[in-house]
Amino acid sequence: MRKKNRTSLMMMYSLTLGVAIAGCSPADQPVESVQPSEKTAETTVNDSDSQKILAQVELAACSEESIKKTTLPNPSVKKWRPLEAGQPLSGIAAISVDPIFDGAGYGWKPGTSYAITKDGSVWRWGYVDGPVDFPVQIKGLRGVKQISDSFALTNDGQVWKLNSQGAAEKIKELENSESIQVVDMFEALIVLKKDGTLWKHDINTEKPEQLIGFVNIQKLYGSASSLFLVDSTGKLSYVDGSGGGQLTAENQQIIPVPGKVTLIAVDYRDHGLIQVDSGEVFVFSSKEKAPQRMPVADGAKRLAVTADDMYLMVKTDGSVWGWGANMNSMLGDEGPTTIDQPVQIQGLTRIIDIQAGTDHAIALDKGGHVYSWGSNMTGQLGRVPVLFGQWTEIGQLPDIQQVVTKLDKPFFVRLDGSIWSMYENRTTYEVKGPAQIRKLDSMDGTPVTINKAGQLQMWENDFTGCQTLPLPFSVKDMVGGDSHLLVRTEDDRYIAIAFDYDNARSYDRKMVPGKAELVEIDSSLASRITNLYANQYTFLALTQEGEVLYADRTKEDAFRFKKVPDLRNIKGLAPEYFVRYTHDPASIWVRDDKGRVEELLLQPEFEHTQKINSIRVEKSANVEEGIDKMSGRLRLTTDGQIFEHEWGPSVKSKIPEPVRLVSSTYRYAIEGPGSHYHMLVTENDKLIVIGYNPFGQKSGHPDQVISLGDRK
């Protein structure tokens, strides 16, 4: 501004990438800020540079060498190899499940699996006041024939209430009972008595009451809100409790199917399969209420339905078949997202029963063993640990230069530019496709890489295909935020590229680029940045001198890096921990060369459109001393201790061996469950996990439920 032969402060240019975008993701959010009164420096931008920035580019296909598919040597690599010895759960006569249920304001209920032995003792795993990874026997209860949530029915017709420790209390008024079913939306247990009457026991009250008008009921089935009742003549009635309906006789309606109903399988949303005495099967939806034929399931011995319209059946030969939504790859790794015709589930033979939760299934074979597959979010598979509360070694891999935990499992960039990961059985493998990689990051789960030629590539989630962003400059560094990718060029310019989804369908949408903008930065700082960071709100940077920058953004203006005042000799930042879909301040921890850690709070100011209007940064009063390394809320101290702030399982303990790399990911939102984990690499190249098992979230291949003994 003082000299007219120099370009005035922080010039900004924009370009439009050659892919149409409807708009940026609405997930911009930061926190409270020290309002820096710094003077904006001038920067020089020559004409050739600006012409490069204004060039039009399009996504282009990668070369054939970059899309080779990873080959799996055999299915065993997809099965968790236990860290501790155990034996298959055996002697089981019956199985059941509780679905994962979120009633949108009624609270979240996690999933649980049950197995009943021949003598009527009960094993359960899943969520019991926290994840329970392996079966635990309920003490003091024998002769159980059925279990639903926290209630059990014994062979003598008595109903019992179970507490979280497994102690059982008799409900005196519920004798001579035939069947039980918890209906979550009503917080009630429905009981079918042997005389054909129905009773309702509110979970929070002591005395059950009879549901008047229901007589001659022979079989009871239920969802999260409704009842399906079969009377003594084989007729099926539906009591719709969804949408404000009540569980009353006046609200029941006959479901017209030809013949007598012999079997029903229902998910928690009232979607189900109905089999009649001829063996014919019908599909029922609460929306249409008119059953439709499902001939592919005719003659099935057992039926099951998950919450995402995946159907399972056991044939008379004991094989298991599935069709519909291929959720969690439960119908096969190579299958499409929806499978129209039944496919056989490999690894299951001599099956006599099958039960489906919201997104997992368990099967019982003739020998009394239980198999599970699908989601393991709360430990409902009973064979894969959900949580590692302390330092847990899972493998070893040399020459790692970067650890990435932002994707669906950990990935490792090695010194030769190859990317490696680990199968569920904890054997490492090289990812086929990416080559000569300098850095790996992610845009909302989509892998993004820079290769050693400075090219930017976006990959499919499994690295089986990629597209190149043929930018008119070489890329030196980048970091992925929630809605923008920050790119650093070889000549130290910083460009923010907006990304959005190509469609609204969560199961097949892809990230595509939109508008790109030159980020404003003091020209004296641009070349001195050593590290780039991101959280859910914005970008951050660290300079050679230990100064911290954050990217402010005012309304529709470009990102602009500002310096956080009064910070010197900072050696590292930890922005990994945050909670999505809130407007809360985000914590950024900064560590100086003396091991002193301070907390910064980034606070966004939002317009009514939910777009960020500006970002403020301020220091909190929280200070720590003696910290050697940090990632999110994880701390490694200078005296060799390791712990995590505000996480129950964490206990301060001695670090077994020196650590050289740490990467963390946190997946928490404003409501519902969440998870996080840390991946550490030691100086001896050992791979350490602390937190939720990144290989324990799901398993698409059935395997036996494991007992680790008589544990409480």
The whole-number pLDDT of residue 38 equals 41
Name which of 98-102, 353-357, 417-421 the model is least confident about. 98-102
Domains 14-60+388-707 and 255-368 alike in fold: yes
Cβ 121 vs Cβ 138: under 8 Å = yes
Regarding the domain delimited by 255-368, which CATH topology (the fold level of the hierarchy) does it fall under? Answer: Methylamine Dehydrogenase; Chain H (2.130.10)
Dihedral sign for Cα 602, 607, 611, 614, please.
negative
Q: What percent of the chain has pLDDT over 70?
A: 86
Q: What percent of the chain has pLDDT over 90?
A: 64
Q: In what order do the strands lie in the sheet with 168-170?
A: 144-148, 151-154, 159-162, 168-170
pLDDT over threshold 60, residue 454: yes
Which has the closest alpha carbon to 120: 145, 87, 148? 145
Q: Where do the domains of the chain lie? A: 14-60+388-707, 255-368
Q: For the segment 562-617, what is each residue's pLDDT rounded down to a tens digit?
A: 999 999 999 999 999 988 888 899 999 999 999 999 999 999 888 766 778 889 99
Average pLDDT over residues 105-115: 66
Strands 302-305 and 292-293 turn out to be: unpaired
Phi, psi of 375 (to 5 degrees): -70, 145
Q: For the segment 471-521, what is each residue's pLDDT rounded down to a tens digit?
A: 889 999 999 998 899 999 999 999 999 988 887 666 567 888 888 899 999
With residue 257 as reference, give the H or E element that holds it. none
14-60+388-707: CATH number: 2.130.10
pLDDT over threshold 70, residue 633: yes
Name which of 339-343, 439-443, 468-472 the model is least confident about. 468-472
CA distance to 146, 386, 404, 617, 685, per residue, from 621 (Å): 55, 35, 31, 13, 37
Whole-number average pLDDT of the chain: 86
The whole-number pLDDT of residue 33 equals 34
Average pLDDT over residues 351-372: 96
Q: For the segment 204-252, what is each residue's pLDDT rounded down to a tens digit?
A: 777 899 999 999 999 999 998 999 999 999 999 999 998 788 999 999 9
